Amino acid sequence: MRPVNIAGSGSEHHGPLPVLVLAAIGVVFGDIGTSPLYALKECFSPEHGIPFTTSAIFGIISMIFWALLLVVTIKYVIFVLRADNSGEGGVLSLMALALRSARDDRRRYFVLLMLGALGACMLLGESVITPAISVLSAVEGLEVIHPDMKHFVIPITLIIIVMLFMVQRYGTAAVGRYFGPIMLVWFSTLAVMGMHHIWLNPTILQAISPLYAIAFISEHTLQAYIVMGSVVLVVTGVEALYLDMGHFGRKPVRLAWLLVALPALLINYFGQGAMLLSDATAISNPFFLMLPQWALWPMIGLATVATVIASQAVISGAFSLANQAILLGFLPRMEILHTSETERGQIYMPTVNWVVLILVIFTVVEFRESGNLAAAYGISVTTTMLITTTLLAVVMAKEWHIKPVLVTLLIISFFIIDFSFWTANLIKIKDGGWYPLMLGAACFLMLTTWHKGRKLLRERIVSDSIRLPDFIAALLAHPPHRVEGTAVFLTAHIDFVPVALLHNLKHNRVLHERVIFLKLSIWDVPYVRDEDRLTINDMGGNIYIVRAVHGFKETPDINSVLALIEKQQGLQLPLEDTSFFLARDTIVPSKLPGMAIWRERLFAWMMQNAAKPSDFFRIPANRVVELGTKIEI
């Protein structure tokens, strides 16, 4: 990855600001916006041992207020959103920014790379837990209507989730335009519900003072520490602010949070607290018990739609994150389908979709209640928050060149908060926290095995390769028979002769009249302009070495690359007269230094099941010539 900063189309945001703000409300804040369904209820879980007193209610509401203010508003909205990579956000974008400062330090580079990979794994784990806990918490409103309806919660939840994943192949373009208005209605409803109960018991507003949180922590230190693992649920989805910044821009996301989402959430949480001051029995489900009986059915419907929107956002985020991981060399190639002709970021990945669906179904069946999932959710969120803080520290110091004293003060403040939330959730490992750790560990193993395996594969190929410029010079000095047409040799190593060329010369003893050695590279920016995409080296004799670069949010397209070569070099490259030569590597695990034999077998399995380069790069199947080779690692 080359350290550049090329502004691409991904950083441009068209449309009036109010429209972008409304769209951001629909996509960015679905996850954090549905937290009132379960967050306060979980804070007062009997397992925490918190005495249900007036001071406890004030203390926890105060903790929620300051969590939203310090973590979301100050850390993410003010600071983290500044760390954009040509307009794009997310933990992998932040990692790419941090890596620029570590090019000359291999150890630091490796550590930052692994942190970014772990952060991506935890975010992918969140994509599994969010649909489960969100939809479950909405459908659990049926139990408020009648306790006997509890038997229908799991089946209805599973039906909704299966339907949600079944429609992913059609994309969100058709219904996405309604997300903003629906979520605006949702946030408005949250505010109205909260205002009613605050009006009835306005003393709850005193909880704005941090003194109540401090007093609660002082009086119930152990219980307060444990309950922090539940308070963090009010900030779940905070990474979505950063990950989805590229779709809307920094300003619309900030305005949507400050003007709509934050006020509505605070009013609702304070309203729930006010109701609990008057009716302690409402703690069984404080969100739905805020409503009169006649409003329960409509609210269950609206909550279900809101949780589906929240789930849709994280599923789309999983596709985007997996695509970035593939292009950054952490995952094998997979089939990627574009679901919109106008929006380049809207993609569908069948493999990711079905794997996540199976895991979500398992999650619902295994945990059965939203309360049981709370511990699992907290571990996933807080681990990502810690990684974001660490990477942000590097960017602030090395990229923004902020004074070390200021960086230290800010990062220590953020780290203390994040570490407190994280360790509070570690206590719950046996109660469900093991689940995201297991998901994250499995994902991290896959990512690091693929990354390490590709590195070993490159080293083995390079060690036995011939330098390409020298080979071309010798080839032109004693040329074989030239045949009509164009041969494109895709290569991962632009300085060395592709194995496919050697096989072709050995078996066919011919060379096409036009030969292009093409390397497709990924840079650490999200998008690259077409005018900056190609580097062409004319070696003479109608032989060209071409390097085509893409951003980590783009999908390389061989047809577009050929069109650019034609335009820049003045060549005629009709597809029906062009053959693409690819090497199909077969990995043979061995006892050579590198990885454990079981990881080499895992890498070989991943290589075998990866999408074919011809499919991934959209090369017509009838124009591909694959030549296989076995390589020991």
Q: Which structural domain, as residue segments, surrounds residue 583? A: 461-632
pLDDT, tens only, 543-596: 999 999 988 778 788 888 888 888 888 888 888 888 898 877 778 887 777 788
Question: Between 525 and 358, whose confidence is greater?
Answer: 358
| pLDDT score, position 556 | 82
Residue 502: Cβ-neighbour burial (10 angstroms; 0-12, 13-18, 19+): middle
515 and 420 housed in the same domain:
no
405 and 480 housed in the same domain:
no
**Which amino acid is residue 92, in one-letter code?**
L
Q: Does residue 569 lie within any of the structural domains? A: yes
Q: Does residue 449 lie within any of the structural domains? A: no
pLDDT over 80 at 294, yes or no: yes
- CB contact at 8 A, 120 and 92: yes
| pLDDT score, position 239 | 83
pLDDT, tens only, 475-504: 888 888 888 889 999 888 888 888 888 888
| pLDDT score, position 322 | 87
Count of the separate structural domains present in the chain: 2
61 and 173 housed in the same domain:
yes
Rounded distance between C-alpha atoms, residue 95 and residue 391, angstroms: 6
Secondary-structure percent of the chain, ordered helix, strand, coil, rounded to 5: 70, 10, 20
Q: What is the mean pLDDT of residues 150-165?
A: 91
Rounded distance between C-alpha atoms, residue 118 and residue 390, angstroms: 12
Q: Does residue 438 lie within any of the structural domains? A: no
**Which amino acid is residue 283, in one-letter code?**
I
425 and 466 housed in the same domain:
no
| pLDDT score, position 442 | 93
Q: What is the mean pLDDT of residues 504-515?
A: 86
Rounded distance between C-alpha atoms, residue 180 and residue 309, angstroms: 10
Average pLDDT, the chain: 86
Q: Does residue 134 lie within any of the structural domains? A: yes
272 and 364 housed in the same domain:
yes
505-531: b (≥16 Cβ within 10 Å) or e: eeeeeebbebbbbbbbbbbbbbbbeee
158 and 242 housed in the same domain:
yes
Q: What is the mean pLDDT of residues 194-216?
A: 95
* Segment among 169-183, 193-207, 360-374 with least mean pLDDT: 169-183
Alpha-carbon torsion 432, 435, 441, 443, what sign?
negative
- Going from the C-alpha of 421 to that of each of 7, 40, 352, 436, the distances in angstroms are 36, 16, 30, 15
Q: Does residue 349 lie within any of the structural domains? A: yes
Q: Does residue 439 lie within any of the structural domains? A: no
% of the chain with per-residue pLDDT over 90 = 33
413: nearest Cα among 48, 78, 172 = 78
Rounded distance between C-alpha atoms, residue 213 and residue 417, angstroms: 14
- Going from the C-alpha of 485 to that of each of 356, 477, 572, the distances in angstroms are 44, 21, 10
What are 480's two structure tokens?
Answer: 């074989």
| pLDDT score, position 325 | 87
> Best-predicted range by mean pLDDT among 11-15, 94-98, 298-302, 480-484?
298-302
Residue 151 maps to which CATH number? Answer: 1.20.1740.10
pLDDT, tens only, 317-361: 888 888 888 878 899 988 888 776 555 556 788 999 999 999 999
351 and 489 housed in the same domain:
no
Q: Does residue 628 lie within any of the structural domains? A: yes
284 and 377 housed in the same domain:
yes
282 and 381 housed in the same domain:
yes
| pLDDT score, position 174 | 54
73: nearest Cα among 65, 61, 85 = 65
The secondary structure element, H or E, covering residue 468 is helix 468-477
288 and 184 housed in the same domain:
yes
423 and 319 housed in the same domain:
yes
Q: Does residue 1 lie within any of the structural domains? A: no
412 and 519 housed in the same domain:
no
